[in-house]
A and B are shown apart, each in its own frame.
Chain A
Amino acid sequence: MNMLEKGKISGSQFMWMMVTTVLPTAVLFIPAITIKNAGTSAWIESLIVSTGWGLVVVTICCTLGERFQGRSLLNYSGEILGKPLGKLLGLFYIFIITYTNAIIVREFGEFLLSAFMPETPILVFNVILLLLAATSVRNGIEVIARMNQFVVSLMFFALIFIFSLIFGEANFHHLLPLFEGGIKPIIHGALTPMGWRGEVFLLLFMLPFLSNHREARPAAYKAVLLLGLVLGTDVLMVLAVFGKEAANFVFPVHSLATYISVAGFLERVEAFILALWVAGVTIKVAVWYYCATLVTAQTFNLKDYKPVVLPLGIIQAVWSITIYDNIREMVDFFEKPWITFSLFFEFVVPTTLLLIAVIRKKGGRGSEK
Chain B
Amino acid sequence: MKSKLSLLAVLLLVFPLLAGCWSRYEIENLAIVGGMGIDRIQEDGKERYLLTVNVIRPGLSGGGTEGGGRGKPIYWRITATGDTLVDAEKNINLRSPRRVFYGHMRFVAISEKIAREKLPDVIDYLSRNSEVRLRILILLTRERATDALINYSELENTIAREVTEMASITGGIVSKFKIWDLAQTIDQLITPGLDPVIAELMTPLSVPVEPGGGPIRILRFGGGGVVKKDKLVGWLTDGETRGYLLGAGEAQEAALPVRLKNQPEPDTNINLTRSSRQLTVDVEGNKVTAKMLIHAEGDLGEYNGKEEVATNEGVFKLETKFREEVEKEVRQSFKKAQELNADIFGLGNRLHERNPKAWKKMEKDWYKILPNVKLEIKVTAHIRRTRAISEAFIPK
Contacts and interface: CB of A to CB of B under 8 A. Distances in A.
Q: Is any CB of A less than 8 Å from a CB of B in the complex?
A: yes
B22 A121 contact: yes
A134 B9 contact: yes
A117 interface: yes
Contacts, number: 65
Interface size class of A (residues with CB under 8 A): 35 or more
Contacts of B183: 241-242, 245, 255, 259
20 contacts: A117-B22, A118-B23, A118-B130, A120-B23, A131-B9, A135-B9, A139-B6, A174-B187, A176-B354, A177-B356, A242-B187, A243-B187, A243-B190, A244-B190, A245-B190, A255-B134, A258-B135, A259-B134, A267-B135, A268-B133
Given A117-B23, A118-B130, A127 B16 contact: yes
A138 B2 contact: yes
A109 to B, nearest CB: 13
B191 interface: yes
A245 B186 contact: yes
Contacts of A176: 352-354
Interface in A229-255: 241-245, 248, 255
A337 interface: no
Nearest to B23: A117
A173 interface: yes
A331 to B, nearest CB: 16
A261 B183 CA distance: 13
Contacts of A174: 187
B209 interface: no
Contacts of B5: 135, 138
A131 B12 contact: yes
A91 interface: no
Given A119-B23, A120-B23, A245-B187, A135 B6 contact: yes
Given A245-B183, A248-B127, 17 more contacts: A115-B130, A117-B23, A118-B130, A124-B16, A127-B16, A174-B187, A176-B352, A177-B352, A177-B353, A177-B354, A177-B355, A242-B183, A243-B190, A245-B186, A245-B187, A255-B183, A259-B135
Interface in B98-154: 127, 130, 133-135
A261 B16 contact: no
B353 to A, nearest CB: 4
Interface of B: 2, 5-6, 9, 12-13, 16-17, 22-23, 127, 130, 133-135, 168, 183, 186-187, 190-191, 352-356
Given A114-B130, A115-B130, A259-B135, A243 B354 contact: no
B252 to A, nearest CB: 16
Given A118-B23, A120-B23, A131 B13 contact: yes
Given A135-B5, A261-B135, A264-B168, A173 B353 contact: yes
B23 to A, nearest CB: 4
Interface in A253-273: 255, 258-259, 261, 264, 267-268
A132 B9 contact: yes
A118 B352 CA distance: 40
Nearest to A114: B130
Nearest to B17: A124
A128 B2 contact: no
A244 B127 CA distance: 15
B249 to A, nearest CB: 11
A180 B9 contact: no
A241 B187 CA distance: 10
B356 A180 contact: yes
